[in-house]
Amino acid sequence: MIQYPFIWLFMSYVEKYKPSLVEITWIIVVGTAVLTIMGYLILKYVDTPLRAMLKRRRAAYQAYNK
């Protein structure tokens, strides 16, 4: 889901500056790599710990309300 703002930025850039096919190719290749790495880092350092915390909180809530 992190890619949507970058798609808007990319399309605005293309509309405003009208880059050549070679420039667009490089932007797409580099952008794909950067967004993939960024997505992995967010998954590892934000999403996974948050899910673990919520799972523990849910288990404690269910144990308390039995």
Q: Rounded distance, CA 25 to CA 31, Å?
A: 10
- pLDDT tens for residues 49-60? 999 999 999 999
Give the mean model confidence (pLDDT) for residues 27-34: 96
| Structure tokens belonging to residue 62 | 């269910």
Size (the chain), residues: 66
* Banded model confidence at residue 3, pLDDT cuts 50, 70, 90: confident
| Structure tokens belonging to residue 5 | 């703002």
Judge if pTM exceeds 0.85. no
- pLDDT tens for residues 33-46? 999 999 999 999 99
Instruction: Write down the pLDDT at residue 1.
Output: 73
